[in-house]
A = this chain, B = another copy of it.
Amino acid sequence: MGPEFQRIEAFVAAARASPRAPAGPGDDAAVMTRVRGETCVTVDAVVEGVHFRRATGRLEDVGHKALAVNLSDLAAMGARPRWALVALGVPRGFSIREARALGAGFGSLARESGTALVGGNVTRAPGLSLTVTVGGQVARGGALLRSGARRGDVVWVSGTLGDARLGLALLERPGGPAARRLQRHPRLARAALMRQRRPSARLALGRALVGLASACIDLSDGLVQDAGHLAAASGVALHLALEALPCSAALVAAYPRPADRARMAASGGEDYELLFTTPASRAPAVARLARRLGLPLTLIGQVRRGRGVHPIGARAGPLRGFDHLA
């Protein structure tokens, strides 16, 4: 246990945000007092060889991403992050320097998002893994659920889609066609890589949607799949303009054929944007919110009777993706 304690200490020293809990790492459990309103808790794991490779991933990025994917779940609930627990699985030969790098990436996002690291655990494991549990609070209005979408509502998505999948393509196939097309656009390539390596959780958006959105989900597995979860939980059908989803300049440059980038945007995964529904009458409020946050919020579809996710062709229906900031 000696070396393992040293590693957890190196991780914690680098990761620890200003402690806000009476008993932080070190006791049998962390203690949280003065909890008001609803508490949301969620867990997510980042595993070597599955979610990242040591060859292409920097450990600072891995630490950041392990927390970011959890914060994204809190964002989708409209919750403000409060605390995190980290379970580290470390392979033989994992060094204190590596533990520190992992902790530094975790810690910078923890501080930025106001998340206190309150406890954790370290075990030996065949490969490196970080399993992060986060807790957050929804002060008033109640948590956003996937199950609240109603017939007649409209469907929105934040930001741009497909960039994280493009970033993965750049990492995995540095000589592939997407990478070649972005060679003349290094700034766009870097932006796509950052979406893959250091995703942002839409925490401010999520909190602002409490009382405005009827349902919400974060996009981790790709728009179509996650929209399917929301549709199933709400017992409705989502009709989406899949051929006109919001795309970044990087995606357009990397995939000049509209059908290619539509596919990336619709099922790329790891975007960590929010998909949400509102009554159609609240569209002006969503537009104002987009301006206030400086974040594109694009109307991409409608909620109808039925089940599942249905494409609206670019020419077939009245709905087109549009960006309230454009």
Chain A positions within 8 Å of B, measured between CB atoms, are 1, 22-23, 26-33, 35, 38-45, 47, 49-51, 73-74, 76-77, 79, 83, 85-87, 89, 118-121, 123-127, 129, 131, 133, 135-136, 138, 143, 145-147, 216-218, 221, 225, 233
Chain B contacts for A38, CB-based, 8 A: 22, 31-33
Is B1 touching A120 in the complex (CB atoms < 8 A)? no
Asked if A135 meets B225 with Cβ closer than 8 Å, knowing A23-B143, A146-B26, A146-B28, the reply is: no
Is B127 touching A76 in the complex (CB atoms < 8 A)? no
Bound CA–CA A32/B39 (angstroms): 5
Bound CA–CA A45/B119 (angstroms): 13
Is B126 touching A126 in the complex (CB atoms < 8 A)? yes
Is B89 touching A129 in the complex (CB atoms < 8 A)? yes
User: How far apart are A115's CB and chain B's nearest CB, in angstroms?
Assistant: 13
Is A77 touching B123 in the complex (CB atoms < 8 A)? no
Is A217 touching B28 in the complex (CB atoms < 8 A)? yes
Is A31 touching B27 in the complex (CB atoms < 8 A)? no
Is A121 touching B43 in the complex (CB atoms < 8 A)? yes
Is A45 touching B145 in the complex (CB atoms < 8 A)? no
A42 interface neighbour in B29, B45, B123, Cβ under 8 Å: B29
Pick 11 A–B contacts, CB within 8 A, sort by A. Answer: A23-B145, A28-B74, A29-B40, A30-B41, A31-B38, A41-B41, A41-B83, A41-B118, A43-B86, A43-B121, A50-B125
Bound CA–CA A51/B127 (angstroms): 15
Chain B CB count within 10 A is highest, among A35, A74, A86, for: A35
Is A218 touching B50 in the complex (CB atoms < 8 A)? no
Chain B CB count within 10 A is highest, among A41, A76, A79, for: A41
Chain B CB count within 10 A is highest, among A23, A28, A40, A87, for: A28
A27 interface neighbour in B45, B77, B131, B221, Cβ under 8 Å: B77
Bound CA–CA A79/B73 (angstroms): 27
Is A133 touching B85 in the complex (CB atoms < 8 A)? yes
User: How far apart are A145's CB and chain B's nearest CB, in angstroms?
Assistant: 6
Q: Please, which residue of chain B has its CB at the minimum distance from the CB of A33?
A: B38
Bound CA–CA A314/B40 (angstroms): 52
Bound CA–CA A43/B216 (angstroms): 28
Asked if A146 meets B45 with Cβ closer than 8 Å, knowing A126-B126, A221-B1, the reply is: no
Is A121 touching B44 in the complex (CB atoms < 8 A)? yes
Asked if A27 meets B146 with Cβ closer than 8 Å, knowing A35-B39, A125-B50, A135-B41, the reply is: yes
Bound CA–CA A233/B74 (angstroms): 33
Asked if A225 meets B27 with Cβ closer than 8 Å, knowing A47-B123, A124-B47, A133-B41, the reply is: no
Q: Please, which residue of chain B has its CB at the minimum distance from the CB of A118?
A: B41
Q: Which 7 pairs show the lowest CB-CB distances between chains A and B?
A: A29-B42, A28-B76, A126-B126, A29-B40, A131-B131, A133-B133, A28-B73
Bound CA–CA A118/B143 (angstroms): 15
Is B43 touching A145 in the complex (CB atoms < 8 A)? no
Q: Please, which residue of chain B has its CB at the minimum distance from the CB of A119?
A: B42
A29 interface neighbour in B33, B126, B129, B136, Cβ under 8 Å: B136
Q: Please, which residue of chain B has its CB at the minimum distance from the CB of A50?
A: B124
Q: Please, which residue of chain B has its CB at the minimum distance from the CB of A143?
A: B31
